[in-house]
Amino acid sequence: MKIKNQIKPFWLFLIFLVFPLLGFAQTITVRGIVKDATGETLIGVSVKVVGTTGGSITDLAGAYEIKAPENSKITFSYVGYQTQLVDVNGRSTINVTLKDEDKSLNEVIVVGYGTQRKEAVTGSVASVNGSVLKEIPAGNITQALQGRLAGVDLEQNDTKPGATLQIRIRGTRSLTADNNPLIVLDGIPFSGSISDISPDDIKSVDILKDASATAIYGSRGSNGVILITTNKGVKGAVPQVSYSGYYGQGKAIYYPMMNGPEFVALRKASGRYTANGSDEANDVNTDWQSMFYTTAIVQSHDLNVSGGNEKGSYKFGANYYTNQAVIPGQNYTRYAIRGSIDQEIGKYIRVGFTSNTNFNVTNGASLGVGNVLSQSPIANPYNTDGTLKRFVQMPLDQGFVLTKDRIENLGDTWKDQKKALGSYNSFYAEIKIPGVEGLKYRTNIGANFNFSNAGTYTGVGVMNATATAASSASVVNSYTTDWAIENMLTYDRSFGKHRVNAVAMYSAEQNFNNYSTISAINIPTDNLQFYNIGQANASDITVNPGKDANFVPYQGYSVWGLESLMGRVMYSYDDRYMISGTVRSDGSSRLAPGYQWHTYPAVSVGWNMNKESFMKDITWIDALKLRAGYGQTSNQSVATYSTLGSLNTAPYNFGTTYSTGFNVNTVPNSKLGWEYSYTYNFAADFSLLKNRLSGTVEYYITDTKDLLMNVNLPSTSGVSSYTANVGSTQNKGLEISLNGVILDNLNGWTWEVGANVYKNVNKITALASGADQDINNGWFKGKSINSIYDYKKIGLWNTTDADYKYFSTLEPGKTSTVGMIKIQYTGTYKADGTPTRAIGPDDRQVMNLDADFQGGFNTRVAYKGFDLAVVGGFQSGGILVSTLYGSASYLNLMTGRRGNVNVDYWTTTNTNALYPNPAGPLSGDNPLYGSTLGYFDASYLKIRTITLGYNFKQKWLKFAGIEKLRLYGTVQNPFILFSAYHNQSGMDPETNSYGNQNQAVNSYNSRTLVIGTNTPSTHSYLMGINVTF
Amino acid sequence: MKSKYIKSLLGTALVSVFFMGCSSDILTENPRNFYTPGYFQTKAGILGGVTALYANLRNLNGQAYYFNSCETGTDEATWGQSADGNFTSMDYSGAATFNSATSPIGILWSTVYSNINTANGIIENALIVNASKKGTADTIPGSLITEANFMRAYDYFLLVQRYGGVPLDLGSGILKFNTNPSRTSVRNTVPEVYTKCIFPDLLTAVNTLPVTQRFTGTVTKQVAQLLLAKAYLTYAWWLQNPNNIPTYPLCDRTDPNGKDAAWYFQQAYNLATTVIANPGSYALQATYYDVNVGSNDRNKEMMLYADHTQLSQQYNGGSLTSGSAAAPDNFAGWMLTWNYPTITSSGDGGATYKISSVLRVSTQDLGRPWVRMAPPIGVFTNTFADKTNDSRYDGTFTTVYHANWPLGGTVTATSLVNANGMSVVPGAPILSFLSTDDPSIVYPPAYPDPLAPGKSSVGAGTMPGRADYVVGPSAISRIIYPGLWKLGPYRTDNGTGIGNPNAGSTRPFPILKFSELFFIAAEAAVKGATVTSVSGTYANDGTAKGLINIIRARAGKWRYSNAQNAVVVADNSAAMVAATPATIDINYILAERSREFYGEGYRIFDLRRTQTWANVAGTYQICGVKFGDRTVQTVTRTILPANYLDPIPQAQIDGMDMTATEKAAYQNPGY
């Protein structure tokens, strides 16, 4: 009763509010048909009278009917088409033809703190819209972006579920500071993982590549900026519910291991293990991989609701994504919710709020295939009673028997789980300053929060050949907060032919992170896992105050802040001449007091030549713009507290008296300042033949100076390193992007092709104190940062070789000679042609890993409702490092000691082989110079995905209340061509690990991406549906 | 009304946000999870610095690759079957190239300078702290500071023996705490290193250190006296240079203090005998077995060691369950351990001998096998020729492998069939290395016959009536040889299982022993030092023979036999003393040192000091790398005079910012 009484006045209020609108002008009924440019009727077009809340949509015949005041305006809007505004003018029949959304130079580009018509952009900005990204169903946008954009190199460094790709925009600049681009989500610098953003939410991705474009992001933009804009509700749109989802299955691409008979032959050829291990027999042929892998499953479901009224709009959505890897027990699941609201308050104020929150769970990330691959294929995994053995005994090694069944039956005895909650929120308020047209004040506030809990537990003897191996547990709890505030004044106005857009801004941000690690051995029962490590004996518990082997602290704490002042003016005259100038001043907490602030400028100009009178007669050119830019950016991405020096901890026991010692590890550098990049960018954008062919050609030079480097000092200095501004690098590159429309709705057929190709030449131009090389870090002046330093294999020694007479000079003391790896000798020769010395460390050479050129291509063919899209990528030149074939993964020992990759090795009857004589000399456990076996030509051409889709336009949709319906199927990784590595191994020629991961002995710099024993790549098939109600 | 309210609220929020953003303390850093170098100028920081000096002992002592650089290439060890380039290169036999990039020779260099700098910092900062905290409890006692002097001298003494003259200035001046990122270096000469650092530091230590330990294992006056005596002895040899071995950087062999070799030999003698007569809390153990048995670790004979513990993973510095094969783990013992779990017995005596009867267990006789190093046959036929009276053979090696299969929990049989189809029970010998070759040993066919591994799977033989497999000394090869019992693991937490055989050893690794004083004094006496009789517990006539006989008499005492795995009480002291030659020469001292300190990382220093390396270790004999390969090979080493100094590691040369000429001049000649 009481409630009812309260509600009544509210309804009355509402009626009064709406009544004036209804009773204003004469209302008539308007009818009509809405078609597209091809004459097809459009079903489900939103038809609305401006200024009202009601609306209608077109039916199966494209017809609509709406009541509208005589002098009102009606909007027609439909996804993929330009919204049209029509004056009623008393007409009762209004037929409308909607134009496709224009994909020409008039697109609007997000340039950071504002947008710009593509025609007027002067910096280097590459854009992809969300619908293109959706052609590749992927867990995160890095996979969908791969090969799409010239100059944006996305390389795989992990194949586990939930992994993202490494992004390098126009090469690697910095030697030890961060090289990752800044990600900006809906205007606010994004501190989370890119995998936290569901690709389905993304409206567009704009990538700022040159300094004139990134200058506005200052020090955070030196490695390029990725601006991600998510979908928002549309003002005045009727409520829409949409769902998109897909489901797919994948099969592992097997690592190319020897089978039983091949392995028996290898062991015999090697002659090192004359007796089989006790679990081995020559007639056994075990395929360990097939006993291990499961079917990969990926599924994604997105549900969105959006709508709007006259003064505001909203969009809410939820996403569920899960990916089970081919490794059992290894999976990633993400639950995300997202909401955005925009609201106008009165005439001058607009406020909005966006929130992205996700919770994700990663299981089994520590599982790899290294152990499985190293198992002898002639070892029998089963006991006589049919049960699985705990381990198999090979001649020297015991290999724990790890199969799918075993992992699935671990129960409480094993757990490896990370749970993370991330919440990324931004709020803005915008005020139009009354009295000054075009002047606005805006404030953005971002607040992010991240929590994760990662624990591992391994029970007694689990994953260990030793049944009594102690149980162990560890847990890491991490907490991150991050806030940013931006206060901005913008002035945007046209005066005749003059257009001015000016921005002035002050911003500040601060990031806080703290994490703690606790570990213990001998956990009393499996049931406890890592949830109460305190139950272990005190002496078994470790809370390590120091750092791990990779110098990562066990207990982490960092706070960093950045303060900035910035101004930018973009001016254009007659849309012909454009100039943009930016000045930004940044202050960073990471640098030494007195060196914290730096100011840098950027300027770029553009000229739309086609608008000049002398171009009028050249009708085949629709648009031609020349651009040039120069700018300075900087990088402060050294670790926090780098200027302060640090003490190492050294725990010690004096008998049973425990004590923690300290020694100086890093010396302070009170002069640590900014690292600068100077970029020149020259480009031409063109659109030809009635916009059938468009593209961009860009050339750039980036010089990076005062590199922030962790300089390793010689031992005699008594301290291991310090962080300093030393050295310089250069990146030069050429980028070409082309988009063509080959068939433009010819008899219903449309065929579009896009391609990009780019080349980046990276070079270290100076190292610390004029040094020419820093072998320990793998840096060489005049060479690429991405180099390896090793011997160069030029073949195998055969007695028939012309130079065999020099064998004993080059390889003294080697007794097994034939079939051994032949190394290129770089020393001098005596007068008679004899080498003056033996092969030694001086013969190591710098070898560049970078591709000569690389790129991607895509094509789309559409006919009626069908469309077929193919996306591919390619690379020419460069070196691919496969640790499987080299010496790091211990899978090409060639001695028959354990599982071996299937290689074509030297025998007396196969002297032309690629791989050495298994009986030849060893270095450690590997063939002598075995690392040289892991280098392959990195060239490849690969079709990444093929998608066949069908858009329903049938009449039954209307009856089902469906506005749009699309079904599609996708094949991932279907073809690989021109890849030497694929031809030999059958594997994917793309890297899957950092250089210090997924190997038996991690042997490369982390920056060198390699193929290791990570989760196998898959061939996958997906089915998906997109539906809008 | 409502919108006005919202506006004012918004306005307030905006203004407050603006000012919040303006606060400039977001540019100030304050680390909270580690110490900055400033902490090193407090009492607690300096105490921590001293602890770090001890902790850093682990980075060398017990580090297997450094151990390798002290043993492989001497008469005590060569490379083993599983050796990689780290080991073959140190053999000087051409098995792999030896040059400045050879990694084991860089370990000492890359480890000690940071330690030296920490010591510099302690000595320097302690003065500052004591000056500012005068009269308060925050001052640092001199004896504590002097521990840093001791450690600095210890490090420089190692360096000068391996590389010749080394830099005393790390970038901030001679023996000054360096916080400059210095990328240049200048080497001092050998006499400068001794007279400016090693001797003054150790004299300070002798004068200031207490006679009792601050904590278990910390240094005392006596430890400093031992090290100083050793340094005097070594420097005296260097001044004398009997075999004309070159030094570098070039300098005259004259002492800046104006003394000669004889004076230093005499100082070494005097100091060593002083400590023998006044041992303080140190003492010889009753038997040699007691010196090295794990249950008696940290005994009175162990004067300095790099400690470890099985009680705390954190303070042990390495995992208690699986070894990292890197410092600070103590994993040296794995290198001289052959792959004994390969030995097989049979369940029923039928055709298949596939049951591992000796499992890998964390007990002192077993441990983790890496087979990276092997003892040449001469160790067993020459050095340890006397295996009956002298308990040191039994107290150094695992010569008998005893059955332990029940510990694995998988084989439930109470007995297995072993050699000659005879039954064995747990604890019984499965494989024995014999003292002498015996014609009645029946070996399986020799390698490369496919049957070479035999029923034992390791190519061992049988003898009539014996249930254990046997191997004679001449069959010792790079793949099968007695294990190094001395450095084997010892733990009390094995329970009824195999324990943690893959973990690094949780035992302290020995560095300096009381027994060495007798050798130092004896060596000095042999080199002409005037002898005087020694009083006290170890009273003797003070001659080389008198001193050595104290050690030999102790070596004759038995209280336990590892081979028999049983208590064996015997006193063969008289026989041992009787066997001592009338005249003791350097070669005898070296042989005796090897018997006493075999496999503890002393050998390369002894051979280089006495300039006898090429003579003593120039050739060696051993069989091949396959089970059943019993062909004794004689291997010749090429040990050049220049090899008496290790090359300066390539990483140092690469890391310096100097011209090519300067870098070439920095490197030792011959590399």
Following DSSP, what letter does each residue of A791-838 receive, concatenated? Answer: --EEEE--TTSGGGGGHHHHSTT----TTPEEEPP-S-B-TTS-BSS-
- How many CB atoms are closer than 10 A to CB A1014? 25
Task: Please give, rounded to a whole number of angstroms, the shortest distance from the CA of B373 to a CA of chain A.
Answer: 13
Q: End-to-end distance of chain B based on CA atoms, in angstroms?
A: 90
What is the token pair recorded at A320?
């569920």
Of the candidates A556, A557, A711, the beta carbon closest to that of B181 is on A711
pLDDT of residue B83: 85
Q: Are strands A879-882 and A1010-1011 parallel, antiparallel or unpaired?
A: parallel
Highest mean pLDDT among A755-769, A824-838, B409-423, B543-557 belongs to B543-557
* Residue A815 touches partner B, C-beta closer than 8 Å: no
The tens digit of pLDDT for each residue in A108-127 reads: 788 888 888 888 888 888 88
* Residue A349 touches partner B, C-beta closer than 8 Å: yes
Residue A239's pLDDT band (boundaries 50, 70, 90)? confident
Q: Flag the least confident range among A22-31, A36-45, B223-232.
A: A22-31
pLDDT of residue A818: 85
Task: Please give, rounded to a whole number of angstroms, the shortest distance from the CA of A461 to a CA of chain B.
Answer: 11
* Residue A596 touches partner B, C-beta closer than 8 Å: yes
- pLDDT over 90 at A363, yes or no: yes
A396 or B129, which is more confident: B129
> Is A654's CB within 8 Å of B307's CB?
yes
A769 or A61, which is more confident: A61
pLDDT of residue A38: 67
DSSP string, A98-112: EPBPP-STT-EEE-S
- Distance, in Å, from the CA atom of A542 to the CA atom of A818, rounded to the nearest integer, reads 52
> Which residues 6+ apart lie within 8 Å of A574 measured at CB?
A497, A611
- pLDDT over 90 at A517, yes or no: yes
Residues of B in contact with A278 (CB under 8 A): 344, 354, 356
- pLDDT over 80 at A135, yes or no: no
Task: Please give, rounded to a whole number of angstroms, the shortest distance from the CA of B326 to a CA of chain A.
Answer: 10
The tens digit of pLDDT for each residue in A751-809 reads: 999 999 999 999 999 887 677 888 778 889 999 989 999 999 999 999 888 888 898 88
Tell me the H-state helices in A23-158: 130-133, 141-145
Q: Are strands A202-208 and A125-129 parallel, antiparallel or unpaired?
A: antiparallel
- pLDDT over 90 at A96, yes or no: no
Highest mean pLDDT among A46-55, A535-544, A996-1005, B55-64 belongs to B55-64
Exposure string of A768-791, with b = 16+ CB inside 10 Å and e = fewer, is: beebebbbebbbbbebbbbbbbbb
Of the candidates A544, A664, A716, the beta carbon closest to that of B118 is on A664
Give mean pLDDT, residues A897-917.
Answer: 93
> Is A445's CB within 8 Å of B99's CB?
no
pLDDT of residue B464: 95
Residues of A in contact with B313 (CB under 8 A): 521, 539-540, 542
Give mean pLDDT, residues A704-708.
Answer: 86
Helix (H) and strand (E) counts for chain A?
11, 56
Q: Compare all CA atoms of chain A with the CA of B369 and give the residue at the minimum distance.
A: A396
Residue of A550, A644, A717 to mutate for B, most B C-beta atoms under 10 A: A717
Q: Work out the burial of residue B259: count CB atoms within 10 Å of its CB; fewer than 13 is exposed, 13-18 middle, 19 or more buried.
A: middle
Length of chain B: 671
- Distance, in Å, from the CA atom of B166 to the CA atom of A590, rounded to the nearest integer, reads 37
Q: Work out the burial of residue B474: count CB atoms within 10 Å of its CB; fewer than 13 is exposed, 13-18 middle, 19 or more buried.
A: middle
> Is A717's CB within 8 Å of B97's CB?
no
- Distance, in Å, from the CA atom of A662 to the CA atom of A650, rounded to the nearest integer, reads 6
Residues of B in contact with A468 (CB under 8 A): 409, 497-499
- Distance, in Å, from the CA atom of A844 to the CA atom of A846, rounded to the nearest integer, reads 7
For A216, half-sphere exposure in the C-beta direction (CA atoms, 13 angstrom radius) is 31
Task: Please give, rounded to a whole number of angstroms, the shortest distance from the CA of B547 to a CA of chain A.
Answer: 31
pLDDT of residue B384: 97
- A-B Cβ pairs (cutoff 8 Å, strict): 318
- pLDDT over 50 at A18, yes or no: no
- Distance, in Å, from the CA atom of B668 to the CA atom of B249, rounded to the nearest integer, reads 8
> Is A647's CB within 8 Å of B24's CB?
no
Residue B10's pLDDT band (boundaries 50, 70, 90)? very low
The tens digit of pLDDT for each residue in A192-229 reads: 778 888 888 888 898 888 888 888 888 888 888 999 88
DSSP string, B318-356: S-SSS--SSTTSB-GGGTT---GGG-EEBSSSSS---EE
The tens digit of pLDDT for each residue in A826-885 reads: 999 999 989 998 888 789 899 999 999 999 999 999 998 899 999 999 999 999 999 999
> Is B33's CB within 8 Å of A553's CB?
yes
Query: Which run of H or E residues covers position B69?
Result: helix B64-71
Residue the block writes with tokens 């075995």 = A930
The tens digit of pLDDT for each residue in A378-400 reads: 999 999 899 999 999 888 788 99
- Distance, in Å, from the CA atom of A791 to the CA atom of A839, rounded to the nearest integer, reads 9
pLDDT of residue B371: 93
Helix (H, G, I), strand (E, B) or coil at A846: strand
> Is A713's CB within 8 Å of B655's CB?
yes
- pLDDT over 80 at B334, yes or no: yes
- C-alpha closest to that of B290 among B281, B299, B280, B282: B299
pLDDT of residue A102: 53
- pLDDT over 50 at B228, yes or no: yes
pLDDT of residue B15: 46
Helix (H, G, I), strand (E, B) or coil at A178: coil
Give mean pLDDT, residues B418-430.
Answer: 96
What is the token pair recorded at A24?
């204003």
Residue of A282, A463, A523, A652 to mutate for B, most B C-beta atoms under 10 A: A652
The packing angle between helices B221-240 and B199-208, to 10°, is 160
Contact A29, A92 (CB under 8 A): yes
Residue the block writes with tokens 């090693």 = B198
Residue A17's pLDDT band (boundaries 50, 70, 90)? very low
Q: Which residues between 733 and 792 in chain A have a beta carbon less than 8 angstroms from any beta carbon of chain B?
A: 768-771, 773-776
What is the token pair recorded at B116?
């030296």
Residue A305's pLDDT band (boundaries 50, 70, 90)? very high
The tens digit of pLDDT for each residue in A149-159 reads: 888 888 888 88
pLDDT of residue A197: 82
Q: Spell out the SS3 assignment of B288-305.
A: HHHHHCHHHCCCCCEEEE
- Distance, in Å, from the CA atom of A771 to the CA atom of A704, rounded to the nearest integer, reads 17
- How many CB atoms are closer than 10 A to CB B575? 16
Residues of A in contact with B55 (CB under 8 A): 650-652, 661
Q: How much is the mean pLDDT over chain A?
A: 87
- pLDDT over 60 at A525, yes or no: yes
- pLDDT over 70 at B153, yes or no: yes
pLDDT of residue A21: 43
The tens digit of pLDDT for each residue in A434-464 reads: 888 889 999 999 999 999 999 999 999 899 8
A633 or B189, which is more confident: B189
Amino acid at B187: R
- pLDDT over 70 at B7, yes or no: no
Of the candidates B86, B170, B649, the beta carbon closest to that of A717 is on B170
> Is B217's CB within 8 Å of A654's CB?
yes
The tens digit of pLDDT for each residue in A592-606 reads: 888 899 888 999 999
Q: Compare all CA atoms of chain B with the CA of A390 and give the residue at the minimum distance.
A: B410
Helix (H, G, I), strand (E, B) or coil at A68: strand
Give mean pLDDT, residues B466-479.
Answer: 96
> Which residues 6+ apart lie within 8 Å of A531 measured at CB?
A455, A475
pLDDT of residue A25: 55
- Distance, in Å, from the CA atom of A128 to the CA atom of B172, rounded to the nearest integer, reads 57
Contact A332, A161 (CB under 8 A): yes
Q: Compare all CA atoms of chain B with the CA of A927 and give the residue at the minimum distance.
A: B84
- pLDDT over 50 at B498, yes or no: yes
Of the candidates B30, B109, B317, the beta carbon closest to that of A715 is on B109
Phi/psi of residue A182, nearest 5 degrees = -80, 135
> Which residues 6+ apart lie within 8 Å of A460 measured at CB?
A413, A467, A468, A469, A470, A471
The packing angle between helices B544-555 and B586-597, to 10°, is 30
Helix (H, G, I), strand (E, B) or coil at B114: helix
Residue B661's pLDDT band (boundaries 50, 70, 90)? very high
Contact B25, A586 (CB under 8 A): no
Of the candidates A553, A661, A716, the beta carbon closest to that of B34 is on A553
Strands, E, within A898-984: which ranges?
922-923, 926-927, 935-937, 940-952, 964-977
Q: End-to-end distance of chain A based on CA atoms, in angstroms?
A: 37
The tens digit of pLDDT for each residue in B591-642 reads: 999 999 999 999 999 999 999 999 999 999 999 988 999 999 999 999 999 9
Residue of B15, B26, B46 to mutate for A, most A C-beta atoms under 10 A: B26
Q: How much is the mean pLDDT over chain B?
A: 93
> Which residues 6+ apart lie within 8 Å of B196 measured at CB?
B168, B174, B175, B188
Residues of B in contact with A271 (CB under 8 A): 448
Contact A629, A603 (CB under 8 A): yes
> Is B117's CB within 8 Å of A664's CB?
yes
- Distance, in Å, from the CA atom of B342 to the CA atom of A581, rounded to the nearest integer, reads 75
> Which residues 6+ apart lie within 8 Å of A447 measured at CB?
A425, A426, A427, A481, A482, A483
Residue of B4, B20, B29 to mutate for A, most A C-beta atoms under 10 A: B29
Q: Compare all CA atoms of chain A with the CA of B49 and give the residue at the minimum distance.
A: A662
- pLDDT over 70 at A2, yes or no: no
Give mean pLDDT, residues A41-70.
Answer: 79
What is the token pair recorded at A60?
């199966």
